[in-house]
Amino acid sequence: MVAWGCAALAATAPGLRVIVPGAALWLALCAGRAHSQVRVWQDSESLWRHALACTVDNELAHANLGNALLKRGQVDEAITHLEAAVKIEPNYADAQNGLGYALLQRGQIEDAIRHLRKALELSPRYAPARNNYGMALLRKGQTDEAIEQFEAALESDAAQADTHSNLGAALLRKGRIEGVLKHYERALALKPDHAGACNNLAWVLATFPDAAFRNGSRAVELAERANRLSGGASLTVLRTLAAAYAEAGRFAEAIAMAQQALAVAEAQNNSAWANALRNELQLYAAHQPLRDTVVRSP
pLDDT, tens digit (0-9, with 9 covering 90-100), for 149-179? 999 999 999 999 999 999 999 999 999 999 9
Give residue 297's pLDDT. 38
- Of the pLDDT bands very low, low, confident and very high (cuts 50, 70, 90), residue 14 is low
Identity at 273, one-letter amino acid code: W
Q: What is the mean pLDDT of residues 59-72?
A: 89
List of long-range contacts for 152-157, beta carbons under 8 Å, 24+ apart: 153/127, 153/128, 154/127, 156/125, 156/126, 156/127, 156/130, 157/127
- Higher per-residue pLDDT: 117 or 298: 117
First CA to last CA distance, the chain:
56
Fold classification of 207-298 is 1.25.40
**Do 199 and 193 form a contact (C-beta atoms < 8 A)?**
no
Within 10 A of 67 (CB to CB), how many other CB atoms are there? Answer: 22
Identity at 70, one-letter amino acid code: L
Residues in the chain: 298
Write down the pTM of the prediction.
0.81
Q: What burial letters (b/e) apply to 48-64, b meaning 16+ CB within 10 Å?
A: bbbbbeeeeebbbbbbb
- Of the pLDDT bands very low, low, confident and very high (cuts 50, 70, 90), residue 230 is very high
**Do 146 and 165 form a contact (C-beta atoms < 8 A)?**
no
Q: How far apart are CA 244 and CA 236, in angstroms?
A: 12
Give residue 296's pLDDT. 46
